[in-house]
Structure 1
Protein backbone atom coordinates (compact mmCIF):
# COMPACT_ATOMS: atom_id res chain seq x y z
CA UNK A 1 0.00 0.00 0.00
CA UNK A 2 1.21 3.48 -0.82
CA UNK A 3 0.24 6.19 1.68
CA UNK A 4 -1.13 9.11 -0.35
CA UNK A 5 -2.92 12.21 0.87
CA UNK A 6 -6.58 12.44 -0.23
CA UNK A 7 -6.09 15.86 -1.90
CA UNK A 8 -2.53 16.81 -2.87
CA UNK A 9 -1.81 20.52 -2.66
CA UNK A 10 0.47 22.39 -5.05
CA UNK A 11 2.06 24.25 -2.12
CA UNK A 12 3.19 21.04 -0.37
CA UNK A 13 6.83 20.03 -0.68
CA UNK A 14 7.51 16.57 -2.12
CA UNK A 15 7.08 14.20 0.80
CA UNK A 16 9.27 11.16 1.38
CA UNK A 17 7.52 7.77 1.26
CA UNK A 18 7.91 7.27 5.04
CA UNK A 19 4.56 8.19 6.67
CA UNK A 20 5.78 9.34 10.12
CA UNK A 21 7.42 12.60 8.94
CA UNK A 22 6.64 15.41 11.40
CA UNK A 23 7.49 18.38 9.11
CA UNK A 24 4.63 18.17 6.56
CA UNK A 25 2.05 17.10 9.16
CA UNK A 26 1.05 20.61 10.39
CA UNK A 27 0.55 21.95 6.84
CA UNK A 28 -1.31 18.96 5.38
CA UNK A 29 -4.58 19.05 7.40
CA UNK A 30 -4.97 22.84 7.04
CA UNK A 31 -3.99 23.09 3.36
CA UNK A 32 -6.89 23.74 0.99
CA UNK A 33 -7.07 21.74 -2.25
CA UNK A 34 -6.85 24.99 -4.28
CA UNK A 35 -3.75 27.21 -4.29
CA UNK A 36 -3.52 29.26 -1.09
CA UNK A 37 -4.99 32.73 -1.33
CA UNK A 38 -3.49 35.76 0.39
CA UNK A 39 -5.54 38.20 2.39
CA UNK A 40 -4.53 41.71 3.37
CA UNK A 41 -3.84 42.75 6.94
CA UNK A 42 -6.83 44.37 8.59
CA UNK A 43 -6.69 47.19 11.08
CA UNK A 44 -9.33 47.23 13.72
CA UNK A 45 -9.99 50.26 15.87
CA UNK A 46 -13.46 49.11 16.87
CA UNK A 47 -13.48 45.41 16.06
CA UNK A 48 -10.41 44.52 18.12
CA UNK A 49 -11.06 46.91 20.99
CA UNK A 50 -8.09 49.12 20.15
CA UNK A 51 -8.23 52.37 22.13
CA UNK A 52 -8.31 55.65 20.21
CA UNK A 53 -5.23 57.86 20.46
CA UNK A 54 -5.03 60.25 23.39
CA UNK A 55 -5.70 63.82 22.27
CA UNK A 56 -2.48 65.73 23.07
CA UNK A 57 -2.91 68.45 25.71
CA UNK A 58 -1.09 71.02 23.57
CA UNK A 59 -3.41 70.28 20.65
CA UNK A 60 -6.48 70.69 22.88
CA UNK A 61 -5.23 74.00 24.32
CA UNK A 62 -4.48 75.34 20.84
CA UNK A 63 -7.67 73.90 19.28
CA UNK A 64 -5.74 71.83 16.75
CA UNK A 65 -7.60 69.28 14.67
CA UNK A 66 -6.28 67.09 11.90
CA UNK A 67 -6.20 63.82 10.03
CA UNK A 68 -3.22 61.47 10.12
CA UNK A 69 -2.86 58.57 7.69
CA UNK A 70 -0.58 55.76 8.82
CA UNK A 71 0.96 52.75 7.10
CA UNK A 72 1.42 49.86 9.49
CA UNK A 73 3.57 46.78 8.98
CA UNK A 74 1.50 44.06 10.65
CA UNK A 75 3.48 41.08 11.92
CA UNK A 76 2.11 37.51 11.79
CA UNK A 77 1.26 37.76 15.53
CA UNK A 78 -1.02 40.76 14.85
CA UNK A 79 1.28 43.35 16.39
CA UNK A 80 2.58 46.47 14.62
CA UNK A 81 6.15 45.95 13.42
CA UNK A 82 6.48 49.53 12.22
CA UNK A 83 4.19 52.54 11.92
CA UNK A 84 4.90 55.40 9.54
CA UNK A 85 3.01 58.59 8.75
CA UNK A 86 2.05 58.62 5.07
CA UNK A 87 0.03 61.84 5.33
CA UNK A 88 0.71 64.25 8.15
CA UNK A 89 -1.90 66.32 9.94
CA UNK A 90 0.55 69.21 9.77
CA UNK A 91 0.90 69.10 13.56
CA UNK A 92 3.71 66.89 14.91
CA UNK A 93 1.89 66.49 18.25
CA UNK A 94 -1.12 64.89 16.51
CA UNK A 95 1.07 62.74 14.25
CA UNK A 96 3.11 61.49 17.22
CA UNK A 97 -0.02 60.68 19.27
CA UNK A 98 -1.46 58.66 16.37
CA UNK A 99 1.78 56.70 15.84
CA UNK A 100 2.18 56.02 19.57
CA UNK A 101 -1.37 54.68 19.93
CA UNK A 102 -1.26 52.46 16.84
CA UNK A 103 2.09 50.93 17.90
CA UNK A 104 0.20 49.24 20.75
CA UNK A 105 -2.81 48.09 18.73
CA UNK A 106 -3.63 44.51 17.79
CA UNK A 107 -4.44 43.74 14.15
CA UNK A 108 -5.84 40.85 12.16
CA UNK A 109 -2.74 39.73 10.23
CA UNK A 110 -2.65 38.98 6.53
CA UNK A 111 -2.92 35.30 5.69
CA UNK A 112 -1.64 32.96 3.04
CA UNK A 113 -4.17 30.16 3.18
CA UNK A 114 -4.65 29.66 6.92
CA UNK A 115 -1.15 30.83 7.86
CA UNK A 116 -0.72 34.36 9.28
CA UNK A 117 1.96 36.30 7.39
CA UNK A 118 3.47 39.79 7.52
CA UNK A 119 1.42 42.41 5.71
CA UNK A 120 0.51 46.08 5.63
CA UNK A 121 -2.55 48.05 6.71
CA UNK A 122 -3.53 51.69 6.36
CA UNK A 123 -5.25 53.50 9.20
CA UNK A 124 -6.75 56.99 9.22
CA UNK A 125 -6.89 58.80 12.55
CA UNK A 126 -9.06 61.91 12.82
CA UNK A 127 -8.47 64.31 15.68
CA UNK A 128 -11.66 66.33 16.24
CA UNK A 129 -12.19 68.66 19.17
CA UNK A 130 -15.10 67.80 21.46
CA UNK A 131 -18.23 69.81 20.66
Structure 2
Protein backbone atom coordinates (compact mmCIF):
# COMPACT_ATOMS: atom_id res chain seq x y z
CA UNK A 1 0.00 0.00 0.00
CA UNK A 2 1.34 3.39 -0.88
CA UNK A 3 0.97 6.46 1.22
CA UNK A 4 -0.53 9.57 -0.27
CA UNK A 5 1.89 12.46 -0.40
CA UNK A 6 0.98 15.47 1.73
CA UNK A 7 -0.81 18.30 0.00
CA UNK A 8 1.21 21.36 -0.80
CA UNK A 9 -0.74 23.73 1.54
CA UNK A 10 -0.40 21.19 4.40
CA UNK A 11 3.34 20.84 3.79
CA UNK A 12 3.80 24.62 3.80
CA UNK A 13 1.84 24.96 7.05
CA UNK A 14 3.92 22.19 8.66
CA UNK A 15 7.14 23.87 7.52
CA UNK A 16 6.04 27.24 8.95
CA UNK A 17 5.11 25.64 12.28
CA UNK A 18 8.40 23.81 12.56
CA UNK A 19 10.37 26.92 11.60
CA UNK A 20 8.85 28.77 14.56
CA UNK A 21 10.03 26.09 16.99
CA UNK A 22 13.73 26.61 16.40
CA UNK A 23 13.46 30.40 16.57
CA UNK A 24 16.63 32.36 16.15
CA UNK A 25 15.33 35.51 17.91
CA UNK A 26 17.10 36.30 21.21
CA UNK A 27 15.05 35.66 24.34
CA UNK A 28 13.08 38.68 25.56
CA UNK A 29 14.45 40.59 28.52
CA UNK A 30 12.38 39.82 31.62
CA UNK A 31 10.14 42.70 32.66
CA UNK A 32 10.89 43.77 36.24
CA UNK A 33 8.06 43.15 38.66
CA UNK A 34 6.11 46.25 39.69
CA UNK A 35 6.95 47.72 43.09
CA UNK A 36 4.93 49.78 45.56
CA UNK A 37 5.80 53.08 47.23
CA UNK A 38 8.10 52.66 50.23
CA UNK A 39 8.73 55.23 52.97
CA UNK A 40 12.33 56.42 53.29
CA UNK A 41 12.25 59.49 55.56
CA UNK A 42 9.02 60.23 57.45
CA UNK A 43 9.72 62.38 60.50
CA UNK A 44 6.71 62.92 62.75
CA UNK A 45 5.00 66.30 62.77
CA UNK A 46 5.57 68.81 65.54
CA UNK A 47 2.85 68.39 68.17
CA UNK A 48 1.91 71.88 69.45
CA UNK A 49 2.60 72.01 73.18
CA UNK A 50 -0.67 73.85 73.77
CA UNK A 51 -2.67 70.99 72.26
CA UNK A 52 -0.56 68.33 73.98
CA UNK A 53 -1.11 70.02 77.34
CA UNK A 54 -4.85 70.26 76.66
CA UNK A 55 -4.92 66.52 75.86
CA UNK A 56 -6.03 67.19 72.28
CA UNK A 57 -5.00 64.46 69.84
CA UNK A 58 -6.30 62.43 66.97
CA UNK A 59 -5.44 60.82 63.68
CA UNK A 60 -5.47 62.60 60.34
CA UNK A 61 -5.88 60.24 57.39
CA UNK A 62 -4.26 61.64 54.26
CA UNK A 63 -4.50 60.62 50.61
CA UNK A 64 -1.01 61.21 49.24
CA UNK A 65 0.08 61.07 45.63
CA UNK A 66 3.76 60.15 45.55
CA UNK A 67 5.29 61.26 42.26
CA UNK A 68 8.00 59.52 40.23
CA UNK A 69 10.66 61.57 42.06
CA UNK A 70 9.57 60.05 45.40
CA UNK A 71 8.06 63.23 46.82
CA UNK A 72 4.41 64.02 47.54
CA UNK A 73 2.77 65.88 44.66
CA UNK A 74 -0.72 66.13 46.19
CA UNK A 75 -2.01 65.68 49.74
CA UNK A 76 -5.67 65.64 50.73
CA UNK A 77 -7.26 65.07 54.14
CA UNK A 78 -9.71 62.19 53.76
CA UNK A 79 -10.25 61.66 57.48
CA UNK A 80 -9.95 64.54 59.94
CA UNK A 81 -8.28 64.29 63.32
CA UNK A 82 -11.10 66.44 64.62
CA UNK A 83 -8.77 69.44 64.92
CA UNK A 84 -8.03 71.74 61.97
CA UNK A 85 -4.57 72.65 63.27
CA UNK A 86 -3.56 68.99 63.60
CA UNK A 87 -4.87 68.26 60.09
CA UNK A 88 -2.84 71.19 58.70
CA UNK A 89 0.29 70.10 60.58
CA UNK A 90 -0.12 66.54 59.26
CA UNK A 91 -0.28 67.82 55.67
CA UNK A 92 2.73 70.11 56.16
CA UNK A 93 4.77 67.31 57.70
CA UNK A 94 3.97 64.77 54.98
CA UNK A 95 4.83 67.35 52.29
CA UNK A 96 8.47 67.02 53.40
CA UNK A 97 8.55 63.21 53.49
CA UNK A 98 10.68 61.15 51.10
CA UNK A 99 9.62 57.89 49.47
CA UNK A 100 11.01 55.31 47.08
CA UNK A 101 8.54 55.66 44.20
CA UNK A 102 6.45 52.86 42.81
CA UNK A 103 7.70 51.31 39.58
CA UNK A 104 6.10 49.71 36.55
CA UNK A 105 8.30 47.91 33.99
CA UNK A 106 11.30 49.21 35.93
CA UNK A 107 10.32 52.88 35.57
CA UNK A 108 9.21 55.13 38.47
CA UNK A 109 5.54 56.09 38.38
CA UNK A 110 3.13 58.10 40.53
CA UNK A 111 1.03 56.16 43.03
CA UNK A 112 -1.65 57.19 45.51
CA UNK A 113 -1.41 55.88 49.07
CA UNK A 114 -3.24 56.55 52.31
CA UNK A 115 -1.16 57.74 55.24
CA UNK A 116 -2.38 57.93 58.84
CA UNK A 117 -0.69 60.64 60.93
CA UNK A 118 -1.20 60.20 64.67
CA UNK A 119 -1.10 62.87 67.32
CA UNK A 120 -1.07 61.18 70.71
CA UNK A 121 -1.05 63.44 73.76
CA UNK A 122 1.61 62.43 76.29
CA UNK A 123 0.49 60.10 79.07
CA UNK A 124 2.34 62.25 81.60
CA UNK A 125 1.74 65.95 81.35
CA UNK A 126 4.99 67.69 80.26
CA UNK A 127 6.56 70.21 82.62
CA UNK A 128 6.13 72.88 79.93
CA UNK A 129 2.38 72.66 80.52
CA UNK A 130 2.76 74.22 83.96
CA UNK A 131 4.28 77.33 82.42
CA UNK A 132 1.31 77.53 80.05
CA UNK A 133 -1.06 77.17 82.99
CA UNK A 134 0.66 80.11 84.69
CA UNK A 135 0.39 82.22 81.53
CA UNK A 136 4.09 82.09 80.70
CA UNK A 137 5.75 80.98 77.49
CA UNK A 138 7.02 77.39 78.02
CA UNK A 139 10.71 76.62 77.63
CA UNK A 140 11.23 74.06 74.89
TM-score (norm 2): 0.63
Question: Partner of 2:10 in structure 1?
Answer: none
The structure with more helix, counted as a fraction of residues: 2
Larger Rg: 2
Q: Runs of 5+ in structure 2 lacking a partner?
A: 1-23, 124-140
Higher mean alpha-carbon deviation, 71-80 vs 60-69, is at 60-69
Q: Runs of 5+ in structure 1 lacking a partner?
A: 9-31
Q: Where does structure 1 differ by over 4 angstroms across 4 or more consecutive aligned residues? A: none
* Cα distance, 1:84 vs structure 2: 0.7
The partner residue of 1:78 within 67, 70, 85 is 70
Task: Report whether the alignment pairs 1:68 with 2:65.
Answer: no
Instruction: Say what the alpha-carbon RMSD is for the aligned residues.
Output: 2.0
Counterpart mapping for 1:26-65 below 5 A: 32-34=29-31, 37-42=33-38, 44=39, 48-65=40-57
Give the length in aligned residue pairs: 100
Structure 1 residues 41, 49: CA separation in 2 closer, same or farther (over 3 Å shift)?
Answer: closer
